[in-house]
Amino acid sequence: MNYPMLWRSDAEPEFDNPADARRHRKRDLALAYRVFGAFGWGALGDGHISARDPERTDTFWLLRLGVPFNQATIDDLVLVGPGGAVVEGDGDINMTAYYIHGPIHDARPKAIAAAHTHSQHGTSWCATNTPFSMICQEATAFFEDHAVFDDEEVQVLSTDGGKRIAAALGETKGILLRNHGLLSVGASVSEAIGWFLMMERVSEVHIKAGSRAQPISDEAARIAQVEIGDVSNAFMTYQFAVRSKVPDPTVVD
The pLDDT of residue 1 is above 70 = no
DSSP string, 170-221: TTSSEEEETTTEEEEEESSHHHHHHHHHHHHHHHHHHHHHGGG--PPPHHHH
| Percentage of the residues of the chain whose pLDDT score is greater than 70 | 95
Indicate the SS3 state at residue 70. Answer: helix
Q: For position 248, what pLDDT does the model report?
A: 79
Contact in structure between 176 and 149 (CB atoms under 8 Å): yes
The pLDDT of residue 73 is above 60 = yes
Q: For position 11, what pLDDT does the model report?
A: 62
| pLDDT tens per residue across span 170-189 | 999 999 999 999 999 999 99
Report the distance separating Cα 45 and Cα 250, nearest Å.
Answer: 24
Report the distance separating Cα 206 and Cα 105, nearest Å.
Answer: 29
Query: For strand 77-80 and strand 60-63, is the pairing parallel, antiparallel, or unpaired?
Result: antiparallel
The pLDDT of residue 157 is above 80 = yes
DSSP string, 19-55: HHHHHHHHHHHHHHHHHHHHTTTTTTS--EEEEE-SS
> In terms of CATH, what superfamily is 19-252?
Class II aldolase/adducin N-terminal domain (3.40.225.10)
Average pLDDT over residues 97-109: 97
Q: For position 12, what pLDDT does the model report?
A: 76
- Provide the 10 A C-beta neighbour count for residue 1: 8
* Enclosing H/E stretch for 117: strand 113-117
Look at residues 1, 38, 28, 20 and name the one whose alpha carbon lies nearest to residue 234: 28
| pLDDT tens per residue across span 3-46 | 555 545 556 788 889 999 999 999 999 999 999 999 999 999 89
The domain ranges of the chain are: 19-252
The pLDDT of residue 2 is above 70 = no
132 band by pLDDT with thresholds 50, 70 and 90: very high
| Percentage of the residues of the chain whose pLDDT score is greater than 90 | 90
Report the distance separating Cα 128 and Cα 176, nearest Å.
Answer: 10
Residues 6+ apart with CB under 8 A from 237: 193, 194, 197, 198
| pLDDT tens per residue across span 185-240 | 999 999 999 999 999 999 999 999 999 999 999 999 999 999 999 999 999 999 99
Report the distance separating Cα 65 and Cα 90, nearest Å.
Answer: 10
Report the distance separating Cα 129 and Cα 47, nearest Å.
Answer: 19
